[in-house]
């Protein structure tokens, strides 16, 4: 519906595409890689029906937003989010992220605080810290991420195909929880994203969010699929209770990464229950 200029690249505006529907307490939904704001369709409908104002937007490089070759880091992503929140003058927000979007939620709260935010929701979390280091032995070797970047450069559509198969656990849920048509819709959205952003965002996945998590001072809901192949449960969600003060933690047994689609009923119930408390 609308675009907001958040920066410039070579004297051209970098614009964030957003949609703003409904009335009531605002819920800001931040999408996952490599999709866009429309990927929240199963949540947007029930939130609007429940009387909420729902704001979705496309991260820079994705969807209908600009596709620059700068700003693919969580400080910039959080700054883009802040500009959108300030532009719309939102308060009492439910700030919800899926996958990469959990990074924006976490970095926003860690950097800008909770003055405008009532509650936070993290679905398929990328925090606390994916990279294996001396003080983070639970992480993943850097070579894995370098391999992903090489695969994106070598054949981006082939990489996206393999990624989405694991995004939905297609071998388990094809024809039941994920149709061929829904998978194809995700593929079309993903290949339509910036090739540069698809590659550059991989480095952002290695952000250390541990200090940000400790600063979160609003009630937080975490929902994660136990069978997540993109952000494995033990390396991500299982570590969160030690870092977030006021955390409600729901595990979806058998859930793949994109539980907002494959397990929408469970996710939506948890979301509405949490918001209504």
Sorted by where each starts, the structural domains of the chain and their CATH numbers stand as: 2-276 (3.40.50.1820)
1 has a pLDDT exceeding 70: no
Residue in 31, 52, 224, 257 annotated catalytic:
257
| Mean pLDDT value across the chain | 98
Active site (annotated) includes residue 31: no
Q: How far is CA 173 from CA 31, 183, 256, 266, in A?
A: 21, 11, 9, 16
Distance of CA 169 to the CA centre of its chain: 18
Mean pLDDT of 110-121: 98
Mean pLDDT of 100-122: 98
Residue in 58, 80, 212, 228 annotated catalytic:
228
pLDDT digits (tens, 9 = 90+) for 122-180: 999 999 999 999 999 999 999 999 999 999 999 999 999 999 999 999 999 999 999 99
Active site (annotated) includes residue 66: no
Residue in 65, 99, 194, 204 annotated catalytic:
99
- The helix/strand/coil state of 219 is coil
pLDDT digits (tens, 9 = 90+) for 22-39: 999 999 999 999 999 999
Active site (annotated) includes residue 228: yes
């Amino acid at each position: 519906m609308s675009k907001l200029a958040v920066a410039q690249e070579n004297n051209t505006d970098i614009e964030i595409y957003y949609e703003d529907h409904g009335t009531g307490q605002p819920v800001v939904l931040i999408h996952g890689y490599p999709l866009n704001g429309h990927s929240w369709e199963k949540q947007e409908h029930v939130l609007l029906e429940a009387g909420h104002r729902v704001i979705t937007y496309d991260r820079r490089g994705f969807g209908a937003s600009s596709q620059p070759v700068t700003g693919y880091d969580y400080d910039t992503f959080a700054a883009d989010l802040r500009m959108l929140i300030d532009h719309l003058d939102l308060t009492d927000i439910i700030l919800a992220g899926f996958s990469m979007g959990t990074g924006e939620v976490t970095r926003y709260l860690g950097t800008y605080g909770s003055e405008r935010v009532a509650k936070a929701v993290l679905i398929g979390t990328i925090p606390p810290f994916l990279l294996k280091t001396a003080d983070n032995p639970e992480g993943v070797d850097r070579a894995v991420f370098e391999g992903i970047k090489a695969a994106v450069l070598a054949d981006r559509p082939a990489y996206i195909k393999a990624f989405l198969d694991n995004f939905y656990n297609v071998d388990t849920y094809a024809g039941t929880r994920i149709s061929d048509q829904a998978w194809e819709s995700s593929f079309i959205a993903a290949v339509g994203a910036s090739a540069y952003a698809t590659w550059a965002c991989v480095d952002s996945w290695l952000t250390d969010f541990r200090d940000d998590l400790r600063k979160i001072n609003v009630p937080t809901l975490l929902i994660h699929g136990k069978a997540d192949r993109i952000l494995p449960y033990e390396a991500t969600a299982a570590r969160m209770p030690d870092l977030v003060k006021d955390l409600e933690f729901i595990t979806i047994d058998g859930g793949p990464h994109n539980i907002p689609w494959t397990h929408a009923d469970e996710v939506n119930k948890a979301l509405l229950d949490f918001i209504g408390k």
